[in-house]
Amino acid sequence: MGTIVKLEGERRAVAPLIAARDGLKAWLTQHAYPLWWRMGADRACGGFHDALALNGEPIAGDKRARVQARQAICYALAPDLGWGGPSAQATAHGLDFLIRRHRRADGLYRSRVAADGEAIGDDVDLYDQAFVLFALAAAKRPGDDRPLEAAEAVLARLVPHPLGGFRDFGGEALRANPNMHLLEAALAWIEAGGGPVWRAIAGGQARLAMDRLIDVDSGALSEFFDSDWRAPVSAAKRQVEPGHQFEWAWLLMRWSLIDGDAAALAAALRLIELAQRCGVDPARGVAIDALDGALAPRQMGARLWPQTERLKAAVLAGRITGDAGCWAMAADSAATLTRYLAVPTPGLWRDRLKADGAFIEEAAPASSFYHIVMAILELDRHAAFAPEGDST
């Protein structure tokens, strides 16, 4: 297979990813996991705080279901990444609060509660349900069927769309993003041995992306659709997020490895090429936040999470294809990620880079921890297969 991704310059060194992996794992196990357990866990009221100030102090406020789910996922994966701390206790701390405080009587999970856990509304979001499903899969252990039973209760309340995917709760407009995370949750349940229903969901979500979400002309995957999965006709009204091109690509590659779906792999590699070509600012070396439907920059800021998705997509594509350009992109992405983690309090991060290259000084959002953990985990799984030396 020819090179699908080219970085700036005729030749670029493929930095050994072992060193990058080791540095990121050390940051995670020595600083981030201990800090977010020590300061991010709310031992007075339960659950995890939504953010930590850059000095490590908790930011008091409402608690979101997606944060509780994501923190549970992070700590459930901690042993795989070498953390010797109380991962089971930390996982249960987030998951128990999620179930006790966010779960409604109908089995769905309300999006937000007050800092003390009291309900402040009953709104539900498909995006949050996807992360609940993922967290339950991450927490599944042999012989314990309670996470699967809780997941099946959520699944029973989701509303399939006749053209593929699932409807949002309330309103007719449809979004790609929560459906992407439902694919991620289904893949997690396949790995956890959840049964054939999850394989069917994963296959359906992959087909949704290929048949409905990816524009035939531009090759880009849009974010927002009408009630029949039609993107806006006007390119100016379409939103294309480079981070989600990379993230969908990573998930489609994972599905292709499970199912042998060659079309999913081909679609994933095209998304990576498009996102790298149109969505990465060479001056700052970052994946930017958004493009329009004509693939012109719309939002030149660069949040942390698109950098993690670029790393995940690049390293898995490198492993699958052996493509030196993918490995070079992985090395570049790993170096970029470390820039966001360079803060005075080790274990925290800066979340938003401005168009002028300066970071916004603000609290570190807990929601980004999941993106970082998943990227380091993917790097850890595949870094040893990176080639040494130069790549054309």
pLDDT tens per residue across all 392 residues of the chain: 334 444 443 234 455 789 999 999 999 999 999 999 999 999 999 999 999 999 999 999 999 999 999 999 999 999 999 999 999 999 999 999 999 999 999 999 999 999 999 999 999 999 999 999 999 999 999 989 999 999 999 999 999 999 999 999 988 899 999 999 999 999 999 999 999 999 999 999 999 999 999 999 999 999 999 999 999 999 999 999 999 999 999 999 999 999 999 999 999 999 999 999 999 999 999 999 999 999 999 999 999 999 999 999 999 999 999 999 999 999 999 999 999 999 999 999 999 999 999 999 999 999 999 999 999 999 999 999 998 754 43
Q: Three-class SS of residue 79?
A: helix
Kindly report the CATH number assigned to the domain that includes residue 86. Answer: 1.50.10.10
**Residue 43 in domain:** yes
Total of domains in the chain? 1
Residue 4 lies in a domain: no
Dist CA 75 CA 18 (whole Å):
23
Stated pTM of the model:
0.95
Report if residue 5 sits inside a domain.
Answer: no
Distance from C-alpha of 14 to C-alpha of 9, rounded to nearest angstrom: 13
Residue range of the domain that includes 64? 12-391
Three-class DSSP labels, 111-167: CEECCCCCECCCCECHHHHHHHHHHHHHHCCCCCCHHHHHHHHHHCCCCECCCCCEC
Q: Please name the residue that has the structure tokens 């938003």.
A: 352
Q: Is residue 2 part of a domain?
A: no
Is 3 among the domain residues?
no
Considering the domain boundaries, does residue 7 fall inside one? no
Residue 138 is assigned to a structural domain of this protein: yes
**129 located within any domain:** yes
